[in-house]
Amino acid sequence: MNDTHEEPGRGAGGEEPVGEAAGGAGEPGGESASGAGEPGGEAAVGAGEPVAEAPAAPPHPAPLSARDRDVLALEGESFTGPGAKERAVRERLGMSPTRYYQLLNALLDDPAAEAHAPVTVHRLRRVREARRAER
């Protein structure tokens, strides 16, 4: 037999219950910790006290287009011979090498590109920064 006495609504050791057992969402008369059950969806912190907003999480990057994925894939390949890469850009992507490099440079600053091809993007960022430092 256990000699400990538990009060109703309290967990073992007298702690306040947590989550659904604490009268969370789904129980009559309970409030969720986020205040989602209250009008306006905000939990009341105190009467007349301003509620500090939590810092917004960075938004998920938008998915890359097929063209952007193709540009990164081409950049991950190696080419031999003069003009082989430029020829591949024109044949596979249907754009001029100048436009290709403009798109590639913009992709280096795109979080979605970094998530898609982190090794390629980090390598190209290092090359870009080294060239900028030389100027």
**Phi and psi torsions of 64, nearest 5°:** -75, 150
Confidence of residue 21 (pLDDT cuts 50, 70, 90): very low
Residue 24 lies in a domain: no
Domain range for 89 = 66-134
Range 19-40 average pLDDT: 48
Number of domains present in the structure of the chain: 1
Let me know: does 81 contact 113? Beta carbons within 8 Å.
Answer: no
Whether the predicted model's global pTM rises above the 0.85 cut = no
Residue 53 lies in a domain: no
- Over the chain, what is the mean pLDDT? 75
Range 62-84 average pLDDT: 93
Share of the chain above pLDDT 90, in %: 50
Residue 129 lies in a domain: yes
Residue 49 lies in a domain: no
| Least confident among 19-33, 42-56, 95-109, 116-130 | 19-33
| Least confident among 52-61, 65-74, 110-119 | 52-61
For residue 103 the two structure tokens come to 């798109």
Residue 7 lies in a domain: no
Residue 109 lies in a domain: yes
